Structure 1
Amino acid sequence: MRRKNLFWDDVYKGTPPWDLDHPQPAFEALIKNGEIKPGRALDIGCGRGENAIILAMNGCDVIGIDLAENAISDAKAKATERHVKVKFVVEDALQMNRLFEEGEFDVVIDSGLFHVMMDEQRRVFAQQVHRVLREGGKYFMLCFSDKEPGEYELPRRLSKAEIESTFSPVFDITYIKEAVFDSLLSPSRRKAYLLSATRS
């Protein structure tokens, strides 16, 4: 895991394109429309913590995890500065069983983590998310869609079929709908999919 940590720590020495000073609008909308309710919440791949902080500000008991120690350190400082209680931890989303009990969370969110997973990691990831959610718990995932143009290998552009094939074996999928992934490079314009799924 240390090699992965070093890569992501290097990324967070600067300001990567997804490192916004506000939450992703898709998650703000989920809170506003009541799809995300107060409860115990986990933000996987939380980065510098904007999405985790907005969950905490709306009544959730939140833990944020990320491989990047730099990001977690900055997230802790940000939460302290804003007087918001969030627990931030350096952890690998593919090994959450080391940190969390089964069924520990009511909701799990993922903003741009799944779309950097390799093919062989996807099933493991889905199983790990499934494990930490309680029965009936909700998983919300935002990723680049295959409708987003781009010449680079990462982040991956995913089809609805790829998302469904990964998560449908262990989740009941409520929807996979078109959304926007906000970034510093092109604010409010990157084409994405938003997944809503329930632990079956």
Structure 2
Amino acid sequence: MFWNEVYKGTPPWDLDHPQSAFQALIQSGEIRPGRALDIGCGRGENAIMLAMSGCDVTGMDLAENAISDARAKAVERHIKVNFVVGNVLQMDRFFKEGEFDVVIDSGLFHVMTDEERPVFTQQVHRILREGGKYFMLCFSDKEPGEYELPRRLSKAEIESTFSPLFNIVYIKDAVFDSLLSPSSRKAYLLSATRN
């Protein structure tokens, strides 16, 4: 499977620290203690940070290699996080409706195809409680790039995808930290609440 192969090495988004955009959300109080889900959690840095800030956290990823590394990292740091291997397009098989207060997405939505996006949006909506918050960090259309993936998204695309099921609080310029040079990529940070 593609994602498992990717995690046999160190993909460019696999930092040994959480994304600064999510750290800022905790520091500002936008993310408060509650039940949190990190989708596409990779090796777990963002999920572990959420747990350290008082959240009851689940991390989910398709890549078994990434999840086993994330579990080991959490044990090593004495942090409790529930890591599960699973497909975010089938979260209804794993979680109850309204199970989470917060869902974070660091670089997952921008790898979705046009066909997957509506399914993804419905799945995120379903697992969030009413008024629950979704925070998403993705490459923005301001980031130059000759590669097809990850897609660079416009504010309009993000709005049209999420606005039917979510109240968009903001879509603002942010940075996506990576191991590539330069280490900061132009990104959008979405804050949205479930209708």
The TM-score range, normalised by the shorter chain, is: over 0.9
- Please report how far the alpha carbon of residue 189 of structure 1 lies from its aligned counterpart in structure 2 after TM superposition: 2.2
1:189 matches 2:184? yes
Please give the root-mean-square deviation of Cα atoms over the aligned residues, in Å. Answer: 0.6
CA contact (8 A) 1:180 1:188 kept: no
Q: Percent identity?
A: 83
Q: Tell me how far apart the structure 2 counterparts of residues 187 and 32 of structure 1 sit (CA, whole Å).
A: 25
Aligned to 1:52: 47
1:99 matches 2:94? yes
Equivalent position amino acid for 1:17 in 2:
P
1:153 matches 2:148? yes
Equivalent position amino acid for 1:65 in 2:
M
Q: Runs ≥4 in structure 1, deviation > 6 angstroms?
A: none
Q: 1:134 aligns with which of 100, 107, 129?
A: 129
1:64 matches 2:59? yes
CA shift digits 1:31-89 (9 cap, x unpaired): 00000000000000000000000000000000000000000000000000000000000
Q: Tell me how far apart the structure 1 counterparts of residues 28 and 169 of structure 2 sit (CA, whole Å).
A: 15
Aligned to 1:118: 113
1:164 matches 2:159? yes
1:109 matches 2:104? yes
1:13 matches 2:23? no
Q: Tell me how far apart the structure 1 counterparts of residues 7 and 92 of structure 2 sit (CA, whole Å).
A: 25
Which runs of 5 or more residues in structure 2 are unaligned? none
Q: Tell me how far apart the structure 1 counterparts of residues 180 and 170 of structure 2 sit (CA, whole Å).
A: 27
Aligned residues: 195
How is 1:172-187 mapped onto 2 (pairs within 5 angstroms)?
A: 172-186=167-181
Aligned to 1:3: none
Aligned to 2:84: 89
Alignment TM-score, normalising by the size of structure 1: 0.97
CA shift digits 1:134-175 (9 cap, x unpaired): 000000000000000000000100000000000000000000
Quick one: structure 1 residues 128 and 15, their matched pair in 2 at CA, closer, same or farther if it must change by over 3 Å?
A: same
Aligned residue for 2:115, secondary structure, equals: helix
Equivalent position amino acid for 2:119 in 1:
V
CA shift digits 1:174-193 (9 cap, x unpaired): 00000000000035520000
Equivalent position amino acid for 1:191 in 2:
K
Q: Tell me how far apart the structure 1 counterparts of residues 118 and 180 of structure 2 sit (CA, whole Å).
A: 31
